[in-house]
Structure 1
């Protein structure tokens, strides 16, 4: 099955008077209905065609405006062009070297960056500016159109299962890469999300991550895009996220642990609850029990809280509810440790490659949600992609196991293994236990020193109310009960961990290890 341009147009045309998108900012909101969104997309498609955009063109779309990101991306697909989504903060120049885009569409700030830093030079031939453009940075693209009766382009007939979208990875675990989605990939993601969410006609989705606004309307959901600080999600004002949930009676919340932490803290601090919420989907990093407990206090007893596992190249892969997550922590199967990720989604096959005697190896997946290739990165394809009878097999770079019930267990990134003298530690094995210490927000195990004889160092981020001495005592107490806890050579307090720019949830272990090395200078071989 594929999702072609005609399929997208058809999905949007359903229930034209229903809400498609709500942009919420500082107590105000702007609503776009599904019929309006279709009209805007067709108007934009005409503007793109007039500007010289043609089928097959690669078009970078860089804007923080949820409506413009959604409508412009849909319009490009209607024309047969390929939208390209890149983080506006990390290695944009190198990403554009990989893409060699024909078109650059963005808000004025993005064009300032393009001009000042030479993004896309010399490939970009068609610069188009969304929003107000006080400086002459390119032709202005009108993204909201009034009903004028003008005939605009309809969906272009698809030439089979061709390229539909290129989405760059965040670069939190290496150089960003452009994951190519075909129309069938998008269809697989929509089907998997439909299975996860079981959307209902009156559901309202709060999209805590901007690109989710692209999928919400295609799922038939009224989608609320809050004013998340997309350059630093964890610095968002909590009211900007929790307020729209209450105001628009959101039933589904999809966000990273950093954004969900803002919501949970806001509810606890102000004594408010979120009675409309029936489901929370956490993605971007493992959901910790402490955060799940805090969210439980804010939502109805029968609400579902899911930790969703996946990556830009394969999302979603699996999911587990918070009740099962707690049970897996208190009574894990024999020989298993780390964090349970649940069973793979229907149609997804998970394998463990290069497994050792304990079954620990690299998680690899096949299925309809898997991106078949990276754009212009044959080196990355060679190390992560292979053809099988079940489709492209993607190596995730994550370590894990499969238990007898078919559940995946996550043990951390392959690149983050800590190798000491005669032993190896996986990050998640230690951290999942250390994070349960009272007064602790999260921990991170890093290796300091020369590979193969590293010193395992556990960095600890306590809750603001926890004294440093109490945090150290609590962590050391839980490590005593872990079979490898004695191998941790040092425990260091750091008030705030460096994190990935996209979700502010994945820990930047390279920076953290450098910091730990400076703190422990003299103890490292």
Structure 2
């Protein structure tokens, strides 16, 4: 795949830091475009590898002059891809620890993340800095505050030595000495969609392992063009040697992204690889269907953040070239990626009669990842050697798996099994391994509905319900105390509206009658649009949905179905 002779051999010899990979690619392909992002009036900013590396070194000098050093934790809230890459790579090169927190989190959760991290440095665009001052984020801990965006570029322009460094073709002699591979590199907070957000610790070697895994999975390298539908993917792109295109996406509300902006980014930059959440891919597929467009340059599209629906897979297949590959990747903030499956195998697996009511197929673990299904045999012990096909908790280990949460000893005790290099991460997802070594997903352990004498797994019920004509999406929730929960299925109708609510309900009842325990779902509520997580707009926010359902049922009319809701 590499268009640079000897690139693979040289890459393998680079130190295990993202900054070292960028510096290496800048030496091998200085004039190749590294990063593309939107500019005003429908234009694009572009920067090559040599210029991007020089900008990172300029950022390093600014950080040093401000007093930022190794080991300091620095919150980074920059929406501009160029600022995000140069800031994070500069911090990593210095041995400082970037802290990535989703600004779309609810204010109490965001404040809790900052209080827990106790950062010494806060780097962000003017809006983030204003919020920090007005809301008192991390006020007792932050000693260094730096602006990104136009303010930083104006600051550089007032310093001739930095301006020269950004424009000259002659780079500085060297970057700072790489930090130890086993040292703490970065803290990334989870989305909070399945619980309280937690800070995931990554060592430099684990970030490098993620880059290697994603490079192999997506076939990235020189000559490839990656469309990053999720802003942190812009961080990995330059380290792979590929050109990274960041389209005009509302990263606080990805589902509102305009499909036309995505399609334009694909066609204008001859994108070969597309990576995005189902919400963003849905916008892209909808634009293609509406405008009868083809994603001709794309050879591979990958959905991450949540499994794509069968309806979305069909829409993407119509938009992609026949020879293109469509992948669904499974993973989490703590371990990305874990497994992958292409659309053809996914359809075949779900069509097998033996697997009709056994969840969603996630595919085989990627190279380097060991997947286990743990079955509890006591309060703190687990049986790792369970028979094939047994249900349990999906637990993973490998070089790209985080070994700890930041300042969360209780979470570490609950989610980490083993010690040292042999740590396994408990995902909190229920599943099983089939005879081909493929993982199957049954749903989150915390979302399992425990009724009086029965239990229902969300992915099992929802996969069958989502396939009913006229249904856009469903979510199974349990109301009441565990052991006496009432199963409630919340339904979002398809946008087309071709089928009446009565016809949809009849089809749903028929489909559920074939699911083991499906007859237990006696309550169905119609919802205008199911609430989703803030990061990907793809996973259902079941806590919010449960609060809505309780309010609805208090005012419920006889008849079994209640409409409305936002």
TM-score (norm 2): 0.88
State the match for 1:92 in structure 2.
Answer: 110
Q: Does 1:129 align with 2:147?
A: yes
- Deviation of 1:282 (Å): 0.3
Q: Retained in 2: the 8 A contact 1:128–1:140? A: no
Q: Does 1:50 align with 2:65?
A: yes
| Counterparts in 2 of 1:213 and 1:443: CA distance versus 1, 3 Å | same
Deviations 1:226-264 (A, max 9, x none): 111011100112212222111111110000000000011
State the match for 1:401 in structure 2.
Answer: 432
- Equivalents in 2 of 1:285, 1:427: separation in Å? 14
- Deviation of 1:6 (Å): 3.4
Alignment map for 1:210-249 (pairs within 5 Å)? 210-249=231-270
Q: Does 1:165 align with 2:186?
A: yes
Q: Does 1:113 align with 2:134?
A: no
Alignment map for 1:248-287 (pairs within 5 Å)? 248-287=269-308
Q: Retained in 2: the 8 A contact 1:364–1:396? A: yes
- Equivalents in 1 of 2:305, 2:46: separation in Å? 28
Deviations 1:372-392 (A, max 9, x none): 111111111111012258621
Q: Does 1:443 align with 2:474?
A: yes
- Deviation of 1:36 (Å): 0.5
- Equivalents in 2 of 1:9, 1:332: separation in Å? 52
- Equivalents in 1 of 2:355, 2:339: separation in Å? 21
Instruction: Select between 296-305 and 188-197 the one with higher mean Cα deviation.
Output: 188-197
User: What SS does the aligned partner of 2:166 have?
Assistant: coil
Q: Retained in 1: the 8 A contact 2:349–2:355? A: no
User: What SS does the aligned partner of 2:423 have?
Assistant: strand
Uncovered stretches (5+) of structure 1, i.e. residues with no partner: none
Q: Retained in 2: the 8 A contact 1:366–1:390? A: no
Q: Does 1:363 align with 2:384?
A: no
- Deviation of 1:452 (Å): 1.2
State the match for 2:494 in structure 1.
Answer: 463
1:195 paired residue among 212, 216, 229: 216
- Deviation of 1:351 (Å): 0.8
- Deviation of 1:150 (Å): 8.2
Q: Retained in 2: the 8 A contact 1:59–1:84? A: yes
| Counterparts in 2 of 1:445 and 1:510: CA distance versus 1, 3 Å | same
1:481 paired residue among 492, 514, 524: 514
| Counterparts in 2 of 1:305 and 1:150: CA distance versus 1, 3 Å | closer
Q: Retained in 2: the 8 A contact 1:457–1:492? A: yes
Q: Retained in 1: the 8 A contact 2:22–2:238? A: no
- Equivalents in 2 of 1:152, 1:141: separation in Å? 20
State the match for 2:523 in structure 1.
Answer: 490
User: What SS does the aligned partner of 1:20 have?
Assistant: strand
Instruction: Select between 102-111 and 515-524 the one with higher mean Cα deviation.
Output: 515-524
| Counterparts in 2 of 1:270 and 1:443: CA distance versus 1, 3 Å | same
User: What SS does the aligned partner of 1:297 have?
Assistant: helix
- Equivalents in 1 of 2:36, 2:325: separation in Å? 24
2:33 paired residue among 7, 10, 19: 19
Q: Retained in 2: the 8 A contact 1:385–1:395? A: yes
| Counterparts in 2 of 1:378 and 1:335: CA distance versus 1, 3 Å | same
Q: Does 1:29 align with 2:62?
A: no
- Deviation of 1:359 (Å): 1.4
- Equivalents in 1 of 2:90, 2:352: separation in Å? 50
- Deviation of 1:332 (Å): 5.2
State the match for 1:377 in structure 2.
Answer: 408
State the match for 1:69 in structure 2.
Answer: 84
| Counterparts in 2 of 1:473 and 1:505: CA distance versus 1, 3 Å | same
State the match for 1:515 in structure 2.
Answer: 548
- Equivalents in 2 of 1:360, 1:314: separation in Å? 21
State the match for 1:3 in structure 2.
Answer: 16
- Equivalents in 1 of 2:340, 2:445: separation in Å? 21
| Counterparts in 2 of 1:200 and 1:50: CA distance versus 1, 3 Å | closer
- Deviation of 1:200 (Å): 4.9
Instruction: Select between 192-201 and 145-154 the one with higher mean Cα deviation.
Output: 145-154
Deviations 1:484-511 (A, max 9, x none): 2211111111120100000000100111
- Equivalents in 1 of 2:494, 2:356: separation in Å? 31
User: What SS does the aligned partner of 1:354 have?
Assistant: strand
Deviations 1:80-135 (A, max 9, x none): 1111111012222111112111111000000011001111111110000012359x
State the match for 1:146 in structure 2.
Answer: 166
User: What SS does the aligned partner of 1:491 have?
Assistant: strand
TM-score (norm 1): 0.94
Instruction: Name the structure with the higher helix share.
Output: 2
1:504 paired residue among 537, 543, 546: 537
Aligned residues: 520
Alignment map for 1:202-213 (pairs within 5 Å)? 202-213=223-234
